[in-house]
Amino acid sequence: MHGPAIRLLLALSIFVLAGAAPAPAVPAGAATEAGDYLSKLPPLIDRELFFGDPEISGAQISGDGRFISFRKPYRGVMNVWIKKTNKPFGSARPLTADTERPVRAYFWTQDSRYVLYLQDQGGNENFHIHAVDPTAKPGKGAKVPPARDLTPIEGITARIYALPERTPDTIVIGLNDRDPAVHDVYRLTISTGERELLLRNEQNVVSWVADLDGNIRLAYRTTADGGGEVLRVGDDGLEPVYSCTFEETCAPARFHKDGKRVYMVTNTGDHDLSRLVLFDPATGEEQLVHQDPEGEVDFGSPIFSDATEQLIGAAYVGDRVRIYPFTDELKRDLAVLRDKLPDGELGFSSATEDDRYALVGVASDVNPGSVYLYDSQQGSVEKLYDSRPELPSEHMAPVTPVRYTARDGQEIPAYLTVPRGVEPRRLPAIVVPHGGPWSRDRWGFSSVEQFLANRGYVVLSPNFRGSTGYGKAFLNAGNGEWGTGLMQHDISDGVKYLVDEGIADPERIAIMGGSYGGYATLAGLTFTPDLYAAGVSIVGPSNIITLLKSIPAYWGPIQKIFHRRVGDPDDPADQERLKRQSPLYSATRINKPLLVIQGANDPRVKQAESDQIVVALRDLGRPVEYMVAPDEGHGFAGRENRLAMHVAIERFLAQHLGGRHQQSMQKDVATRLAALMVDVASVKMPELPEGLEPAKTSDLPQVSADTLKPLDLRYTSKVQVGAQELIIRSTRTHGADTLDDRPVWKVTGRAETPAGNAEDTFWLDPATLQPLRRSASQGPARIELQFTAERVTGRIQAGPSEVDVDRALEAPVFGEGPGLEAVLLALPLEPGYHTNVRVFETARQQVRPMSVTVAGKETLDVAAGSFETWHAVLQPLDGESGGGDYWVSTGSGPMLIRSVTRIPPVMGGGKVSTELTEVVDAN
């Protein structure tokens, strides 16, 4: 930020709450040539039947019962279609026509007037909300009604908090347009697109909870120690009413229809398993509603009536799903459905507002599912469609819940899939750890597991410690236990179980997974290399430190949870452990073949995570293959990409485990496969925001310090924080000086502020412009720091409070404020210029890696005159807000002409705009 005034006013009182957590995605593959058992397997099933687009999926009935919508390919891409409820599917017409990316999430408004859907671009997870009127006519030359982007703001990700039934033309949403780290609350009118700001998120709220009328009544945020806090939203702001530690759960689920109490899922206190309670925010009273009758698992999900808003049942996920009805009506409905529908797990996808009609899905371990229209009044069911009608269920492999004992005696729940038709004796096997890691596997149909079983592999899906659903002790046993700890040990002990039971051939076991499962794959090959013959990592992080440093900005409010459960990369003790747990730092131990798969637009696990491990293994001469999709994010959504990925996996596993694989593939898939496979010789260690490790330790850029000239400049800054605006006048003085009898370059900033005059001086090495000393003051506040290449020491004083600074540095840094400004003036700026810098941020005693990019050359007219400038953009690489735009004059004796910098949300959010008003002296 230009000018020391605001920095000194705020530097001593900043505490940053930020956030993150990756999520799942689990693919798979198959093989050739093995033993006699291959001839006993069912027929080889075309991979298109597993991973091509389903014929129909995701059906929903409109609230008024007139329409049924569903997802179906349109021009080769999954889009939303619609038909009248009493008409056949052949009469359906498309509602959306996205030809680039499938529409994966949509729903009806409360009055059945619109279909809303969420869509991002290329997997970047910047979701916008779109609306389509299903009764509207297509425009001229179009095949679908016009869709409106209700949140047409670049770079945001929208969230939906409520669809009020009483005001169906409005929805309550969250937007992170003001600050990418947090979501403010708006009421959005669907018909007009108008937005009304309801609440400004200035307290790092993670989520907002509305009552049934759409009034925001509660907020949930992460506390400084990683715990959770439920807050009541009132006229006087946010008031804490319920709390839990970072090891506990206290999550509001939905308001009661009385508008006073809220259903909450909680396991605070002595309760290990979470329960459903009714909580009164006004009185603090808590009433137990339901908990698992079998005392086995956490509370699952509530079931509400659309007609009465009454809680009518609850579902729990044990080895299989268990549904408990609370009303005679639901008890009767379940009896009718179980009598008339095939055996399997029931799923209620949507219902009419009067509860008469409901769409009910039935799926099993060997059947991806069918959907039925249920008429509760008549007690009748009508089959609407099969999701994948050509997939032969008779050839699918049954999935069996199993338990095995970990090395410390803990029982680990898992699911075992054995190829149909063969004895489970010494077969090639694949362990598939789930993503998250704070999620779990469950019984049901999995295209991945069935595909692998059809190719001849036993599949083990373990719910290792750190998985959710089995109580807080089981979950918290995974804290800090990535890679070299219990979470990975549980996976390794699953391999031992397969071998000890004689199920798996110990020489032919692979590990494969996505997201955390991809990390577990890399960790398995690294820390237990003798267990596995090969591995497939899909969007898996290789370096936990860079993973934690590059999280999406909008995960900011939950970063502390990640730090408590995984580790704080800025804590020296945690950092050393995280390095030990990161496969990248022990890549020399990987000696088995690895296939790495990555989406270039992944905002959670950046491409740098895969690039890093590929480069490391390539340079070590280890066998590694690499696939990158330029139009995908955290998992592959596009049909051709999905199929190409599974061709690569199938071939890889066949080569290294000896299963079978399908030789043929469609021409478009073959073309896509060739385009996605990367020559590992061409991969470079990342230097851009996707990878922070190089920026943290690489050499600082060369500066042309001899181009700097003595300067005496005057500036005016406009500070905007919320609705407040402040004008500050400041000066910058650059010139040669001495410090302890050695020559230095000295930069001093002075400012006149309502809080008193401020001064900030850096003494810089004249060759590198790295700081040697800093002295800053404003009223009773003082900063005195000394810098070496290895350490920053000194003291921060604010009145009677003093804070000692003693921070080890992994690599040299630049100063902030005036110190950084001198660096920008001395960089060899030109069109296309890019570099990374490291800045020591005094307020948090942190080193922040940042990129500097020249956006172009511009002519600026300011009070001091007209100047040709380089427009340089400073962008933090740690996923947090900050940085800004700087315009530096071209030619000799460069000067800062203008800057626009962003104030982090913890400082109130806003920006500082600074312009040069007078050049007093420039020699």
- Catalytic machinery residues: 515, 602, 634
Nearest to 605 by CA among 628, 586, 588: 628
Q: How far apart, in whole angstroms, are the C-alpha atoms of residue 234 and residue 219?
A: 11
DSSP 802-821: EEEEEEE-SS--B-STHHHH
What b/e readout covers 555-581, taking b as 16+ CB neighbours within 10 angstroms? bbbbbbbbbbbbbbbbeeebbebbbeb
Q: How far apart, in whole angstroms, are the C-alpha atoms of residue 567 and residue 106?
A: 36
Q: How far apart, in whole angstroms, are the C-alpha atoms of residue 812 and residue 825?
A: 19
753 contacts 778 by C-beta, under 8 angstroms: yes
Nearest to 9 by CA among 725, 759, 720, 755: 755
Q: How far apart, in whole angstroms, are the C-alpha atoms of residue 721 and residue 717?
A: 13
Within 423-546, strands assigned E span 427-431, 458-462, 504-514, 534-538
Within 62-211, strands assigned E span 67-74, 77-84, 93-94, 105-108, 115-119, 128-132, 147-149, 159-162, 170-175, 184-189, 195-199, 205-210
Tokens matching residue 13: 């009182």
574 contacts 562 by C-beta, under 8 angstroms: no
Residue labelled with tokens 């820390």:
527
Contacts of 873 (CB under 8 A, 6+ apart): 852, 853, 854, 855, 883, 884, 885, 886
Cβ atoms within 10 Å of 272's Cβ, excluding its own: 13
Cβ atoms within 10 Å of 520's Cβ, excluding its own: 33
* 3-state helix, strand and coil shares in percent for the chain, rounded to the nearest 5: 20, 40, 40
Tokens matching residue 692: 């922070």
Sheet holding 184-189, edge to edge: 159-162, 170-175, 184-189, 195-199
What b/e readout covers 689-705, taking b as 16+ CB neighbours within 10 angstroms? bbbbbbbbeeebbebeb
Phi, psi of 233 (to 5 degrees): -90, 115
Helices (H), 776-872: 818-826
Q: Is the dihedral of CA 208, 209, 212, 215 positive or negative?
A: negative
737 contacts 746 by C-beta, under 8 angstroms: yes
Per-residue CA distances from 292 to 273, 605, 682 (Å): 8, 35, 54
∠ Cα 247 250 255 (to 5°): 170
Q: Is the dihedral of CA 345, 350, 351, 353 positive or negative?
A: positive
Q: How far apart, in whole angstroms, are the C-alpha atoms of residue 748 and residue 192?
A: 52
Q: How far apart, in whole angstroms, are the C-alpha atoms of residue 894 and residue 713?
A: 12
Q: Check residue 63 and report its DSSP letter.
A: T
User: How does strand 380-386 pair with strand 594-599?
Assistant: unpaired
DSSP 538-570: ES--S-HHHHHHT--GGGGGGHHHHHHHT--TT
Q: Check residue 617 and report its DSSP letter.
A: H
Longest dimension (CA), the chain: 96
Helices (H), 661-813: 667-676, 693-697
